[in-house]
Chain A
Amino acid sequence: MPGFAFFIAEDQTSVTSAEPLVEISGLHFSYDQKPVLAGIDMVFPRGKLIAIMGGSGCGKTTLLRLIGGQLSPSSGAVRVSGQEVHKMGQSGLYALRRRMGMLFQFGALFTDISVFDNVAFALREHTDLPEELIRDLVLMKLNAVGLRGACDLMPNELSGGMARRVALARAIALDPMLMMYDEPFTGLDPISLGVIGQLIRRLNDALGATSVMVTHDIQETMLIVDYIYFMSAGRVVAEGTPDEIRASTDPFVHQFVHAEADGPVRFHYPAPDLEQSLLGAASGGRA
């Protein structure tokens, strides 16, 4: 994939430095009064593919949005490339985001423009490249995800797996140094799932990027990532390389790896005792 070297030239010097690309320290965050993250510490070394795993609603998407600067933490810091994300002004943040790519949980393709224009969007907004060059770049990105032939389709004509891949092509359009994937595997059949997993790994290595992947598909994740963080109740509860995770005796990791319904992670959303709720309802509703 020769096209990938296109924008990363400026990045070459920093790729070799030992400093990690992303450092998260003591990160706390709440929506209104509801605490979501309660002290997260993570380090993403350059060039690695990192997975963040945890049950639905444990704050994974929130964490990605904090890294991208779309939310502000109540305390703690996120440093990307040495710069503290939440101390930057709007223009600094936008300059940083040009070098980040995010794959949204549901693709978030622009529905009013074609697949081609979706992938070309960032190139047209941020560069003055002539249209022929944009065309070549877009087709190269689409080729990398195997959808060059779909460039004239509209987003509503795509299947779920195809839409995910187009969103992926769009996210890598500017050859980001940091890629973030929000549940890239949900809703995909096993074949598309494997395809996307391999793509994520290949793109990370070809771009010389660093990637973070939020997911709960443990099997696929173990095959492709370099390092895994497990989150629960807003904290990191376990971490390690896939081999370390397999060997782990930690009850949380065990529950997750073996997909058990109840364990340290409760099946129930916190609620009053069932019997009490039912009796309460019978005697005149909530207090």
Chain B
Amino acid sequence: MNRLKAILTALGHGITERLWRLGFAARFFFLLLVHSGQTFSRPRLLLREIWFSGVLSLVIILVSGLFVGLVLGLQGYETLQRYGSSEALGILVALSLVRELGPVVAALLFASRAGSAVTAEIGLMKATEQLKAMDMMAVNPIARVVAPRFWGGVISMPLLAALFSAVGVFGGYLIGVVFIGVDEGSFWSQMQASVDFRTDIMNGIIKSFVFGIAVALIAVFEGYDSIPTAEGVSRAITRTVVTSALAILALDFVLTSFMFRGL
């Protein structure tokens, strides 16, 4: 009986605590938007963050994209040639990447490469009182530190996802056309004929944009809300990666079910 009570109490505490945090996050997001003006009136702040989260994620995004494309080429060819339609490889590779793998895998990589770095940076600035010092210097840390990092992430994400898809398609081409010998003309022409700009490419971009907002918000919030100690920051980084991954996959399901309902 006592045990049950303890479990229920803990559960209740857990739930109220989560709800509180959700409330904090919503308030934080609102403040972030209110204080975003400076980010766009001082492009150097924004460019610096795009450099840090976007450009420095390029290597891992490009290499991963290439490998995913290579694997898609192999697996796709293996399956398609059983039904004698191996020239449809281009469609399979392109659609898988543009609709799903590009946005989702790029966002997962982005969360672990850039999201964790942003959380660590903001968390350490908090732990070493840099944010308080900035606030005492009459510079709002949300406007100066948080908002540029958020927007840097939001802007980088769709670009990285697009690059991931492009490199992936090239990987599929390498395996399919160059190594296996699928007909090059039909590889490209079938891809062009079947990939629709609005339903496929636009939807992919919308997805990666939404993932970008989710990952960037989680990363800056976890950093800003971290307990200002070494252990607190390390836990915040872990939470960024885990929460982002779950958010990306859950959002992907929701978005996909809206976008491709008719198919």
Taking the nearest CB of chain A, how far is it from the CB of B229, in angstroms?
Answer: 13
Q: Which residues of chain B come closer than 8 Å to A102, judged between CB atoms?
A: 133, 136
Q: Which residues of chain A come closer than 8 Å to B132, judged between CB atoms?
A: 65, 70, 104, 108
Q: Which residues of chain B come closer than 8 Å to A98, judged between CB atoms?
A: 137-138
17 A-B residue pairs with CB within 8 Å: A70-B135, A70-B136, A94-B138, A97-B137, A98-B138, A102-B136, A104-B129, A104-B133, A106-B128, A108-B128, A108-B129, A108-B132, A110-B125, A110-B133, A111-B124, A111-B125, A122-B137
Taking the nearest CB of chain A, how far is it from the CB of B132, in angstroms?
Answer: 7
Residue B139 lies at the interface, judged by CB distance under 8 Å to chain A: yes
Per-residue CB contact flags for chain A residues 82-100 toward chain B (1 = under 8 Å, else 0) read 0000000000001101101
Name the contact of B137 in the complex, choosing from A65, A106, A121 (C-beta under 8 A).
A121
- Spell out B's residues near A (CB within 8 Å): 121, 124-125, 128-130, 132-140, 144
Contact between A125 and B133, CB atoms less than 8 A apart:
no
Most chain A beta-carbon neighbours within 10 Å: one of B130, B135, B136, B140: B136
Taking the nearest CB of chain A, how far is it from the CB of B41, in angstroms?
Answer: 13
Residue A126 lies at the interface, judged by CB distance under 8 Å to chain B: yes
Contact between B136 and A100, CB atoms less than 8 A apart:
yes
Contact between B136 and A95, CB atoms less than 8 A apart:
no
A-B complex: 5 closest residue pairs judged by Cβ atoms: A108-B133, A108-B129, A97-B138, A94-B138, A102-B136
Residue A59 lies at the interface, judged by CB distance under 8 Å to chain B: no
- The interface size of chain A toward B, counting residues with CB under 8 Å, comes to 21
Q: Which residues of chain B come closer than 8 Å to A106, judged between CB atoms?
A: 128-129
Residue A184 lies at the interface, judged by CB distance under 8 Å to chain B: no
The CA-CA distance from A102 to B134 in the complex, in Å, is 10
Taking the nearest CB of chain B, how far is it from the CB of A10, in angstroms?
Answer: 16
Q: A102-B136, A110-B130 are in contact. List 12 more A-B contacts (CB 8 A).
A: A70-B135, A94-B140, A97-B136, A98-B137, A104-B133, A108-B130, A110-B133, A111-B124, A111-B125, A125-B139, A126-B138, A126-B139
**A118-150, CB < 8 A from B:** 121-122, 125-126
Name the contact of A95 in the complex, choosing from B125, B134, B138 (C-beta under 8 A).
B138
Residue A47 lies at the interface, judged by CB distance under 8 Å to chain B: no
Taking the nearest CB of chain A, how far is it from the CB of B48, in angstroms?
Answer: 10
Name B139's closest neighbour in chain A (CB-CB): A125
Name B131's closest neighbour in chain A (CB-CB): A108
Q: Which residues of chain B come closer than 8 Å to A68, judged between CB atoms?
A: 136
The CA-CA distance from A68 to B129 in the complex, in Å, is 15
The CA-CA distance from A122 to B144 in the complex, in Å, is 12
Name A96's closest neighbour in chain B (CB-CB): B138
Most chain A beta-carbon neighbours within 10 Å: one of B125, B130, B144: B130
The CA-CA distance from A20 to B125 in the complex, in Å, is 35
Most chain B beta-carbon neighbours within 10 Å: one of A105, A108, A121, A126: A108
Name A99's closest neighbour in chain B (CB-CB): B138
- A122-B133 contact given A106-B128, A111-B128, CB 8 Å threshold: no
The CA-CA distance from A111 to B128 in the complex, in Å, is 9
Q: Which residues of chain B come closer than 8 Å to A104, judged between CB atoms?
A: 129, 132-133
Taking the nearest CB of chain B, how far is it from the CB of A76, in angstroms?
Answer: 21
